[in-house]
Amino acid sequence: MVEGIMRIEKVILHRLNMELKTPFTTSFGTIHNKDFFIVEAIDEEGRSGFGESVAFSAPWYTEETTETVFHMIRNFLLPLLFKNPVQHPDEVSVLFRAIRRNPMAKASVEGAWWDLYAKKKEQPLAKLLGGKKKEIEVGVSVGVQVSVGAMLEQIEAYLTQGYRRVKVKIKSGKDIEIIQKIREVFPELQLMADANSAYTLQDANHLKKLDAFSLLMIEQPLGYNDFAEHAELQKKLATPICLDESIASFHDAEQAIKLNACQVINLKIGRVGGLTEARKIHDLAVSKGIPLWCGGMLEAGIGRAHSLAISSLDGFVYPGDTSGSDRYWKKDLIKPEVTAEYGVVKLPEEPGIGFAIDREQLEKVLINRVTILNSHL
Ligand code: OSB
Ligand code: MG
């Protein structure tokens, strides 16, 4: 089928700052605000497609930041795309191969192209990606708390809201006892732990103690770019290892699986460079019998909508970290907001990401906007 060229007249980068309802603490520190970009691509017919840059303002999770994303989009990604217009969003990631790494910058642009394409085709993004699910199971990720009591209270509150899978952040000194206590109080809870690279292989015997608490998995215990040591650790642990930070591309996923570095993959669209790459990893994981789930980056509504769309694919078997909007924000950027009932989010049926942008709310959290015209049109 010959398809039309996607003619993008301009791209608006909306820089926003949104305050989290409650600060989120990981093994690296505490996040109070999300300072990020919404990428709005506008075509010749005046249609808008939206992507969200999921990078944080500091490079603690991976190397990208809000500022590096802006730099890459403005100076490299858009000039390349404007010069080489595509017919289908799958071609965007092929073009972007000419630029090394920077997956979050790439994903934010590619996401806008996907949304626009889906809207043009009048199809929900999830369906276009090949997703069959109508509902997405979601859990909640709980940051490091000041005390065990605070952690139990927090979990209780989320269970009351209907969430049925809980992930807790752990780090040295805030791990075994906390998990043990949670297990005592919630013996049946689907529970997992995320270390964000807080340990080394020397902690193997310490981490082995977690095997007593039937965790669904332990996420990224070791180095953010490691495979070999995770493989070694996995041999010693009964608890399945899930990789997050280590998987930044299809090639990384291939390596991790080949080396038995993990039994589960947390897939984040931004971390792997976009929806096309995410779908490739999905297909690989399914063919290798590696279950997936969709992680989160404390996204606002647009990023969340993209995550929900990819989660509709069959290989996403565990509940994701893509909780409802109200777990993060007093008011989100989309209408309606994402709502989870009994830990389930219903996928929208409207074209594209399926949520409308709340322009009024966008203005309230706007820091500035930069418009980049396509001089090649
Ligand atoms: O490691 O999965 C992670 C939040 C920020 C950065 C990294 C991570 C997380 C989370 C929360 O665990 C995910 C979310 O609720 O969006
Ligand atoms: Mg993680």
Residue 244 in contact with ligand 1 by CB distance below 6 A: yes
Separation CA 111–CA 353 (nearest Å): 9
Q: Which H or E run contains 90?
A: helix 90-96
Residue 319 Cα to ligand 2 midpoint, Å, equals 14
Phi, psi torsion values for 101, nearest 5 degrees: 45, -135
Separation CA 11–CA 43 (nearest Å): 9
What pLDDT digit, counting tens, does each position of 213-235 carry? 999 999 999 999 999 999 999 99
Q: Where are the alpha helices (DSSP H) in 238-300?
A: 250-258, 269-272, 275-288
Residue 230's CB is within 10 A of a number of other CB atoms, namely 24
Residue 248 in contact with ligand 1 by CB distance below 6 A: no
What pLDDT digit, counting tens, does each position of 325-353 carry? 999 999 999 999 999 999 999 999 999 99
Percentages helix, strand, coil for the chain, rounded to the nearest 5? 35, 25, 40
Angle at 280 between CA 276 and CA 286, to 5 degrees: 140
What pLDDT digit, counting tens, does each position of 243-300 carry? 999 999 999 999 999 999 999 999 999 999 999 999 999 999 999 999 999 999 999 9
pLDDT at 204: 98
Separation CA 254–CA 12 (nearest Å): 35
For atom 4 of ligand 1, the residue with the nearest CA is 297
pLDDT at 377 over 90: no
Contact 264, 218 (CB under 8 A): no
Select from 145, 191, 194 the residue to mutate for testing ligand 1; criterion: most ligand atoms less than 8 Å from CB.
194
pLDDT at 180 over 80: yes
Residue 375 Cα to ligand 1 midpoint, Å, equals 38
* Torsion, Cα of 122, 55, 175, 321 (10° steps): -10
Residue 138 Cα to ligand 1 midpoint, Å, equals 13
Residue 27 in contact with ligand 1 by CB distance below 6 A: no
Residue type, 8: I
Residue 243's CB is within 10 A of a number of other CB atoms, namely 27
pLDDT band at 12 (very low <50, low <70, confident <90, very high): very high
292-294 and 48-52 beta bridge pairing = unpaired
DSSP for 62-75, please give it: SS--HHHHHHHIII
Environment of ion ligand 2 (residues, CB < 5 A): 194, 219, 244
pLDDT at 187 over 60: yes
Residue 245 in contact with ligand 1 by CB distance below 6 A: no
Residue 236's CB is within 10 A of a number of other CB atoms, namely 13
Residue 141 Cα to ligand 1 midpoint, Å, equals 7
Q: Fill in the DSSP letter of residue 135.
A: E
What global pTM score does this model have?
0.98
Separation CA 145–CA 154 (nearest Å): 9
Ligand 1: atom nearest CA of 266 is 2
Would residue 121 show up in a list of annotated catalytic residues for this protein?
Answer: no
Would residue 288 show up in a list of annotated catalytic residues for this protein?
Answer: no
pLDDT at 217: 98
What pLDDT digit, counting tens, does each position of 113-132 carry? 999 999 999 999 999 999 99
Q: Determine the length of the chain.
A: 377
Residue 320's CB is within 10 A of a number of other CB atoms, namely 26
Q: Which H or E run contains 200?
A: none
pLDDT at 290: 98
Residue type, 2: V
pLDDT at 1: 45
Separation CA 96–CA 86 (nearest Å): 12
In this structure, which ligand is nearest to the CA of 138?
1
pLDDT band at 321 (very low <50, low <70, confident <90, very high): very high
The pLDDT mean for the chain works out to 97
Select from 21, 31, 61, 241 the residue to mutate for testing ligand 1; criterion: most ligand atoms less than 8 Å from CB.
61
The mean per-residue pLDDT over the stretch 104-108 comes to 98
119, 167, 268, 280: which is the annotated catalytic residue? 268
Residue 52 Cα to ligand 2 midpoint, Å, equals 19
Nearest by Cα to 209 from 244, 186, 181, 175: 175
DSSP for 206-224, please give it: HHHGGGGG--S-EE--S-T
